[in-house]
A and B are shown apart, each in its own frame.
Chain A
Amino acid sequence: MSKKVVQALYNDDDVLLSAVKKVREANLKIEEVYTPFPVHGLDKAMGLKPTRIAIASFIYGCIGLVVATLMMKYIMIDDWPRNIGGKPNFTYITNLPAFIPIMFELTVFFAAHLMVISFYMRSRLYPYKQAENPDPRTTDDHFLMEVQSDGDASQLAKLLQETGAVEVKIADKKAIQI
């Protein structure tokens, strides 16, 4: 028997939030929630773990700073320690002020771009990827909660109907879930 999920559509974010809380209280597993805009407090209500993407970004920024420092230290001090306009290129520290703008820019560059790439990879977003929202209305004004059904799907559908859903559907569980 293929696994079933019950999809409940809501047309209000406050109703959705209370429904999420009710479903969690009933110890049912929320498979996924699709919303057209960020509903604040939804991740908390669903019990999602906080994202670590900001930590990743900090690490990427540190990498950028190291790359900039090593690059300019090698080029300006070690490889060709030239006298350009009387600038003291003996050690990195003596000419440090002139290196700060690029150290800063590369820190931001690495932190921003690698974080965005990480986000795209973790959330599996890329050109030509097929959209996976089960109902096109979820990018307009509807909110969809998918609840996994272990036993009687129609019983679950009834429960979800009571949480204020405007529409409840029973569907086959998709093969790929992230």
Chain B
Amino acid sequence: MASHYEAPIRNPLIVGDKTYHDVTVDVARPVEGKANRLWWIVFSVALAAFLWGLGCIVYTVSTGIGVWGLNKTVGWAWDITNFVWWVGIGHAGTLISAVLLLFRQKWRMAINRSAEAMTIFSVVQAGLFPIIHMGRPWLAYWTVPIPNQFGSLWVNFNSPLLWDVFAISTYLSVSLVFWWTGLLPDFAMLRDRAVKPFQKKIYSLVSFGWSGRAKDWQRFEEVSLVLAGLATPLVLSVHTIVSFDFATSVIPGWHTTIFPPYFVAGAIFSGFSMVNTLLIIMRKVSNLENYITLQHIELMNLVVMITGSIVGCAYITELFVAWYSGVEYEQYAFLNRATGPYWWAYWMMMTCNVFSPQFMWFKKLRRSILFSFCISIVVNIGMWFERFVIIVTSLHRDYLPSSWTMFSPTLIDIGIYTGTIGFFFVLFLLYSRTFPVIAQAEVKSILKSSGEKYKKLRDTNPNNSH
């Protein structure tokens, strides 16, 4: 085992005496087995929420945006809040698979597949909002610069909303091929194990005839590395462009240069929390506790803590600059956030985002699965409020006091948001029963260096260690 030396300080990432075959069996088990009752109950609830949301979308599009709680002053509220929230959640998937790959973090291997699935599914939810919040969504294709019969009337490339079109579609499509390419060896594993002809056919189709040749693996690894190198700036740019929707405006409270990095930090913060929420449940119900260990949860909590602190730092920076600016509109915008009619949303955001991640400094707390689960939910509530606060409190009171107003959502606003949550879980639940939820090929490649069994073997036989 000369090539598998690892510092003794590192804890095993794969616990239990796992062999290569055990990994295969453990990963294939949820796919080859049948869904239990609980799965069907949760799936039905998610499906019902999705269908309800679909009804709300159809109602909005066929009746008009007026069925939402928007008014002439607050033209963006729940729609864009939810859009930014979903995009933000999606970012953790790419961070786990790309940034952690560039930093050679082996602990990413057990979680990257599900994190990427989460990316794809949440970007799909996000992608709904730019369409359905349009007054005339059937003309959405006008945002694409295609030659046409209007003398070739083009789009205006100065608008961040058009940059969004390019950013989100690039992000979704690149994430999708990154995810799918990584899935090929795992689908091939399921294909070669399948006994039912239908399953065999499906997994043969989706595995693209992957055979695992040495040359294939060499290219596969290079492609993964380059895609990670491309996805890292992509993920930063996408949320930057999303933040430009606000930062390039002239609205006090929006026009800030801190938004690009601060939105990205917030995206990592909420995204990692969502990964934590999902994986804490998944490791339990899919019996993957030997792969998604307490150490994985702890490391994700640390990322949440760090990015939460960056977000907190950004909040303070914004407040300082508002005070320092001497611009009364800017100063009022922040006074209004803290003490205006939406004070509760602001303080909700502050409590959830600034205080709750600081609990992770305590080892006892960050190594508690129940506590991590609760915090991960709290963070996502806080991050939803962050986007709501930025959007609504800056709009409802700005330059002209005669335009000051309030915003309250209607049941349709809420229904569409609920619907996207339902749709997300429909996709995620289907994924967890049909896809290999752990990148088994990658996990096998670290089994000898980071598996508990091999680590013990090295400890008991020091001559063999290096």
* Minimal Cβ-Cβ distance residue in B for A11: B20
**Mask of A87-122 contacts with B, CB within 8 angstroms, 1/0:** 100000001001101101110110111011001101
B158 at the interface (CB under 8 A from A): yes
A175 to B20: give the CA distance in the assembly, Å.
Answer: 32
Q: Taking the complex as formed, is B42 at the interface, i.e. its CB lies under 8 A from any CB of chain A?
A: no
| Residues in chain A near residue B241, CB distance under 8 A | 101, 105
A95 proximity list for chain B (CB < 8 A) = 158
Q: Would you call B174 and A112 a contact (CB within 8 A)?
A: yes
Cα distance A138–B444 in the bound complex, in angstroms: 13
Q: Which one, B208, B237, B441, contacts A38 given CB within 8 A?
A: B441
Whether B220 and A38, one on each chain, are in contact in the complex, defined by CB atoms closer than 8 angstroms, is yes
| Residues in A neighbouring B3, C-beta threshold 8 A | 14, 17, 40-41
Q: Are A35 and B226 in contact (CB under 8 A)?
A: no
Which single member of B1, B163, B244, B442 contacts A37 (CB below 8 Å)?
B442
Contact check, A104 vs B237: say whether CB atoms are below 8 A apart. yes
Partner of B444, one of A36, A43, A84: A36
B237–A105 CB distance below 8 A: yes
Q: For residue A80, which residues in chain B have a CB less than 8 angstroms away from its CB?
A: 153-154
Interface: A123 (CB within 8 A): yes
A75 CB to nearest B CB, Å:
4
Would you call A141 an interface residue if the criterion is a C-beta within 8 Å of the partner chain's C-beta atoms? yes
Q: Is B137 an interface residue (CB 8 A)?
A: no
Residue A9 lies at the interface, judged by CB distance under 8 Å to chain B: no
Alpha-carbon gap, A99 to B159, bound state (A): 10
Say yes or no: B219 contacts A34, CB within 8 Å: no
Name the residue of chain B whose CB is nearest to the CB of A106. B166
A106 to chain B, nearest CB (A): 7
- Given the known interface contacts A14-B3, A140-B192, the answer about A119 and B444 at a Cβ–Cβ threshold of 8 Å is no
Return the CB mask of B369-388 against A: 1 if under 8 Å, else 0.
00000000000000000000
Contact (Cβ within 8 A) B219 A122: yes
Report the bound CA distance from A109 to B184 in whole Å.
21
Contacting residue for B212 out of A35, A53, A115, CB 8 A: A35
B19 is an interface residue with CB less than 8 A from chain A:
yes
Cβ proximity bits B185-229 to A, threshold 8 Å, 1 near / 0 not: 100110111000000000011111111111111111111011100
Complex CA–CA separation, A47 to B78 (angstroms): 58
- Given the complex of chains A and B, what is the CA–CA distance between A25 and B21 in angstroms? 31
Q: Quick check: A108 and B209 within 8 Å, CB to CB?
A: no
Size category of the A interface is 35 or more
A102 and B158 form a contact (CB under 8 A): no
**A109–B218 CB distance below 8 A:** no
A144 to chain B, nearest CB (A): 9
Q: Which residues of B contact A119 (CB under 8 A)?
A: 181, 219-220, 223
Residues of B within 8 A of A168 (CB): none
List residues of chain B with CB within 8 A of the CB of A130: 204, 209
CB–CB B212/A139 < 8 A: yes
Mask, A118-160, CB within 8 Å of B = 1, is: 0110111111111111001111110000000000000000000
CA distance A136 to B3 in the complex (A): 27
Shortest distance between the CB of B297 and any CB in chain A (Å): 25
- CB pair A127–B208 under 8 Å, yes or no, is yes
List, in ascending order, chain A residues with CB within 8 A of B213's CB: 32-34, 123, 178
CB within 8 Å of B: which of A20-76?
Answer: 32-43, 46, 48, 50-51, 53-54, 57, 71-72, 75-76
Q: Is B405 an interface residue when CB atoms closer than 8 A count as contact?
A: no
Q: Does A79 make an interface contact (CB < 8 A)?
A: yes
Name the residue on A nearest B240 (C-beta). Answer: A101
B145 at interface, CB cutoff 8 A: yes
- Contact call A102/B217, Cβ cutoff below 8 A: no
Q: Which positions 381-397 of chain B face chain A at CB distance < 8 Å?
A: none
* B141 at interface, CB cutoff 8 A: no
Residues of B within 8 A of A102 (CB): 157, 162-163, 166
* Residue numbers in B under 8 Å from A113 (CB-CB): 173-174, 177
A127 contact from B155, B205, B221, Cβ within 8 A: B205
Contact A131/B209 with A37-B442, A140-B192 known, Cβ cut-off 8 Å: yes
Q: How far is the CB of A96 from chain B (nearest CB, A)?
A: 11
User: Does B230 touch A at the CB level, under 8 Å?
Assistant: yes
Flag whether B351 is at the interface (Cβ < 8 A).
Answer: no
B209 touches A126 (CB 8 A): yes
Contacting pair A129 B226 (CB below 8 A):
no
Which of A33, A109, A126, A128 has the most CB atoms of chain B within a 10 A radius of its CB?
A109
A140, B189: Cβ atoms under 8 Å? Answer: yes
Asked if B101 is at the interface (CB within 8 A of a chain A CB), the reply is no
- Complex CA gap A32/B170 in Å reads 36
Q: Is A76 a contact of B204 with CB atoms below 8 Å? A: no
- Whether B214 lies near A35 (C-beta < 8 A) is yes
From B2, B177, B189, contact of A112 by CB (8 A): B177
Instruction: Kindly state the separation between the CA atoms of A11 and B185 in the bound complex, as whole angstroms.
Output: 18
Contacts of A98 in B (CB 8 A): 157-158
Question: Which B residues are CB-close (under 8 A) to A133?
Answer: 188, 192, 211-212
User: In the complex, which residues of chain B have a beta carbon less than 8 angstroms from the beta carbon of A106?
Assistant: 166, 170
How many angstroms between the C-alpha atoms of A135 and B28 in the bound complex? Answer: 18
Interchain residue pairs with CB less than 8 A apart (16) = A14-B448, A17-B3, A34-B211, A36-B24, A37-B445, A43-B215, A48-B214, A54-B225, A76-B158, A104-B233, A115-B223, A115-B227, A129-B209, A138-B211, A139-B191, A139-B210
Name 17 extra pairs, CB < 8 A, besides A79-B154, A126-B209.
A11-B20, A14-B3, A40-B445, A51-B218, A75-B157, A101-B166, A105-B170, A106-B170, A108-B174, A108-B233, A111-B230, A112-B227, A119-B220, A131-B192, A139-B210, A141-B444, A178-B213
Q: Which residues of A contact B (CB under 8 A)?
A: 11, 13-14, 17, 32-43, 46, 48, 50-51, 53-54, 57, 71-72, 75-76, 79-80, 82, 84-85, 87, 95, 98-99, 101-102, 104-106, 108-109, 111-113, 115-116, 119-120, 122-133, 136-141, 178
